[in-house]
Structure 1
Amino acid sequence: MVAINLIDYPRWPSLARESILNVPADIRNVKVNIDGRVIDYSGEVDSVVITGMGGSGVVGDIVSDLCWFWDCKVPIIVSKNMRLPRRLSKPLVIAISYSGNTAETIMSANEALSRGYPIIGVTTGGKLSTILSNKGVPVVLVPKASAPRYGLPSLLYPTLIILERFGIASVANELESGISGMERALKAIDEAERLAGELLNAIPIIWVGESRRGVGIRFKNDLNENAKYFAIVSIIPEGAHNDIAAVTTKQVGLRHIAIMGPNDYEGRYLETLLDVVSSFGAKPLVVKLEGSTPLESEMYGVTFLGITTLVLAHLLNVEPISTLPIDRLKEELDKRKLFPV
């Protein structure tokens, strides 16, 4: 075992537990008057829009995964944009920005306010916190980490509590199992090292079922940001109708990897697809998500695969925290005044 800096991953269980304490117990009693329009948080909602970008936006993907297994009462809409979807009736908007300064998320939050939707901010502070707090809108302040992606539990767990408070999903009995999934992954460093070695000097092709889309996207994002690695995600069953056709050409440097969870309804479909991929000469790797509940296996997956990308960054002698191109793009967008925030 090589010495790997796991950055904030060992803190994930404590980040999860600490962050849920910051969700106001009386959040359903909030009633605010904005520009003469009353926004009442006690009313029924017919959808939940989770808006955010990057390491914050993946929270929506994970919640969407979980609702394939949980009995979520309303649709979960994941919005990674500077605008909200047009045709919404009675949504609850959860605006997630780790820094609180994500321009796209602030624009979406302002649009929610202008439309009179109940909105809750989840952030460490920044402009989002100031804008919402000044209007009397609930803001859940969460603990800080080294970068947004390393603070995932502190963004996800308050979001789950909010869903519980609004009667969208019953999550309380799974919260500790999710933490168990993180803890289990933290003990699987040897497996992460083996997987990272398999991915070294290759372009990962990630095959994942629709119900684990969030795990696949998070893995790709961590490969991008931690290891500075390009990767491709193919979502099943859609990817079985297009991406799979490319396996007939033997392209050098590709490494197929499948993510499979217990009780995934696409499991046999994905197994069959991998058999076909193998018949064309590929040798897919399989990562099995461990856990007895949907949240446990989901958190095991994002933790284990995130640690794998840190190992890969180590093997490549890449500094994992910095994301210079992202920072430069934000600076250029700011200079060109593309975001009126």
Structure 2
Amino acid sequence: MTTRRQGPLAARIAEWRDREARLDGGGMRGRIAGLPDDLAEGGRRAAAFVTDLPACDPPPTAIAVLGMGGSAIGGDLVAAFTAGRRRLPLYVQRDYGLPAGLDDRAVVIASSYSGNTEETLAAYEAARAAGMRAIAVTTGGRLAERARELGDPVLVLPPGYPPRAALGHSFAACALVVAALDPGLDSGREAEALEEAAAALRAMAGTWLEWSAENPALALAAMFEDRFPILCAGHATAIAAARRWKAQLNENSKIPAWTSEFPEHNHNEIAGFTAGHPSLRGICIVYLETPWDHARVERRFDVVHRVLSGKVGAQRRIEAIGRSPLEGMLWLCYLGDCTSFLCSIIMGLDPTPVTAIEDLKRALEEPTW
């Protein structure tokens, strides 16, 4: 890992650009640049899948997405951009069990890219044992095997991605399956919205991955070189996007990151920034704002930004661009993905391997006696 060297951003860009060819052996740049195309392709695949999906009889009372990590974030994003339009509750469960309150008319979407995520498999088995209907979203593995044994539909994702890099496919799958199940949504309209969102993102595919002093993603990545980011958001779509930023910075950049929700932040966290703790100079606060924020939340962003000026290492305000909450949410996610990639190169790290996660999995398999 490199250490920060002082100097203008422009003076270091050539060094970082040259470093990328050596570090990005897993091709993460291409994976991130391909998100718009993956989203469009994933939408078409999911649209064909839901066309053949059997009608639920009796109708579902709730939907729960079962997943972990990169296979769960799609559920968060779907829950956020469909809020206020769905008629059914939508839960995202990251655990071995099920959300409280589900009955046997609930439908679960078991999302595991590998098909071997132990928490998702356990929750899936619990759902089926409780008489719930299920749909699997995976490339294969034990999940696909069990789903086929039990007669559950399987939406097969394309293989070969790190799970977090398959967001375009897993998010589109989750979005259209939820739309097919929820009577307040229309899967055809949602599929069209995904196509439009993908087209809007394509314009940014090159811009936010450029080694350019004018690139806002690069400016953010450089700030994170020696500052831990805290991602603040108020609207549901921005809160979900902040969770994506956090995970991408953790896995791609290998740095700690946290999220914070407004207005709750103003009822506790704000107090932690006012006593001059020495660690505050190593924090960068990023405000993920949207045109759909509540007027009072907008005011809270203004006030907090002013109050914390000079108390933390850095602050940046970002407002989502898009014609709809879906487009604004994906705009924020894409900016975060690009930032995380550039940050990994600045830190001198290959963004693709997640050695700590793999080491943890192996340790969990070791005998405890």
TM-score normalised according to structure 1 size: 0.89
Checking the alignment, whether the CA contact within 8 Å between 1:227 and 1:310 is kept in structure 2 is: yes
**Is the counterpart of residue 258 in structure 1 residue 258 in structure 2?**
no
- Secondary structure at 2:249 match in 1: helix
Quote the Cα distance in structure 2 between the aligned partners of 1:104 and 1:168. Answer: 30
Assess, with a 3 A threshold, how the Cα gap between structure 1 residues 281 and 57 changes in structure 2: closer, same or farther. closer
The alignment's C-alpha RMSD in Å is: 2.0
Checking the alignment, whether the CA contact within 8 Å between 1:227 and 1:312 is kept in structure 2 is: yes
**Is the counterpart of residue 299 in structure 1 residue 335 in structure 2?**
no
Q: For residue 188 of structure 1, what is the aligned residue in structure 2?
A: 208
Structure 1 residue identity aligned to 2:30: I
Identical positions, percent: 26
Quote the Cα distance in structure 2 between the aligned partners of 1:244 and 1:252. Answer: 15
Checking the alignment, whether the CA contact within 8 Å between 2:72 and 2:94 is kept in structure 1 is: yes
Quote the Cα distance in structure 2 between the aligned partners of 1:264 and 1:256. Answer: 18
- Out of 190, 199, 202, the residue aligned to residue 224 of structure 2 is 199
Instruction: For residues 40-66 of structure 1, give each alpha carbon's deviation from its aligned partner in whole angstroms, at most 9, with x where no partner exists.
Output: x33212221111001111112112221
- Secondary structure at 2:281 match in 1: coil
- Out of 281, 285, 293, the residue aligned to residue 316 of structure 2 is 285
Q: How does 1:157-236 map to 2 (within 5 A)?
A: 157-166=172-181, 167-170=183-186, 171-186=190-205, 187-189=207-209, 190-211=215-236, 212-236=238-262
Quote the Cα distance in structure 1 between the aligned partners of 2:50 and 2:287. Answer: 39
Moved more, 153-162 or 204-213: 204-213
**Is the counterpart of residue 146 in structure 1 residue 161 in structure 2?**
yes
Checking the alignment, whether the CA contact within 8 Å between 2:235 and 2:293 is kept in structure 1 is: no
- Out of 39, 56, 59, the residue aligned to residue 44 of structure 1 is 59
- Out of 130, 144, 163, the residue aligned to residue 129 of structure 1 is 144
Checking the alignment, whether the CA contact within 8 Å between 2:75 and 2:174 is kept in structure 1 is: no
Q: For residue 71 of structure 1, what is the aligned residue in structure 2?
A: 85
Moved more, 236-245 or 147-156: 236-245
**Is the counterpart of residue 19 in structure 1 residue 42 in structure 2?**
yes
**Unaligned 5+ runs, structure 2:** 1-12, 210-214
**Is the counterpart of residue 8 in structure 1 residue 31 in structure 2?**
yes
Assess, with a 3 A threshold, how the Cα gap between structure 1 residues 273 and 169 changes in structure 2: closer, same or farther. farther
Q: For residue 349 of structure 2, what is the aligned residue in structure 1?
A: 318
Q: How many residues align?
A: 325
Checking the alignment, whether the CA contact within 8 Å between 1:82 and 1:104 is kept in structure 2 is: yes
- Secondary structure at 1:223 match in 2: helix
Assess, with a 3 A threshold, how the Cα gap between structure 1 residues 321 and 25 changes in structure 2: closer, same or farther. same
Moved more, 318-327 or 5-14: 5-14
- Out of 84, 87, 108, the residue aligned to residue 101 of structure 2 is 87
Instruction: For residues 286-315 of structure 1, give each alpha carbon's deviation from its aligned partner in whole angstroms, at most 9, with x where no partner exists.
Output: 122111111111111111111101100000
Q: For residue 35 of structure 1, what is the aligned residue in structure 2?
A: none
**Unaligned 5+ runs, structure 1:** 30-40
TM-score normalised according to structure 2 size: 0.82
